[in-house]
Amino acid sequence: MARKALKERSITIPQVKETLEAIGEERLDQFQRRSLDYAAKLSKIDPDIAETLVNKLVEQFELDKEEAVQIINCMPESIQEIRVFLAGGRRIMETSKLERILAFLDEYRKKE
């Protein structure tokens, strides 16, 4: 039986991880287990703050939600990396604003 999506929205990798863990690994199908493994390996921030950070990037830095989600997923460490997520390089943003975004991300980056 095919399932139909009721609603679609962009979420971060840490939110995917949290959602799949909430379901319980024993109840996940093979694809979902692989997705959980991927999310666990690639989560760069704690899921409890991911959505807050996305919202702050949208509000404070005037990013699109999709851009903000991708930035939070990857937690870029340089201005050049941030530029990759800005409308595929078609969007121009002042270097000073990019530096503020980078400083903002540094505040929340997991210490390894």
Q: What is the pLDDT of residues 46-104, one digit of tens each?
A: 888 999 999 999 999 999 999 999 999 999 999 999 998 886 667 788 999 999 999 99
Q: Domain range for residue 70?
A: 47-108
Same structural domain, 51 and 37: no
20 occurs within a structural domain:
yes
Residues 6+ away with beta carbon under 8 Å from 57:
63, 67, 68, 71, 72, 101, 104
28 occurs within a structural domain:
yes
Same structural domain, 36 and 53: no
What pLDDT band is residue 112 in, cutting at 50, 70 and 90?
A: very low
* Rounded-to-integer distance, Cα 44 and Cα 75, Å: 7
Same structural domain, 84 and 33: no
Number of domain units in the chain: 2
* Rounded-to-integer distance, Cα 14 and Cα 18, Å: 6
Same structural domain, 37 and 68: no
Same structural domain, 52 and 101: yes
pLDDT tens for each residue of 3-53: 787 888 899 999 999 999 999 989 999 999 999 999 999 998 988 899 999
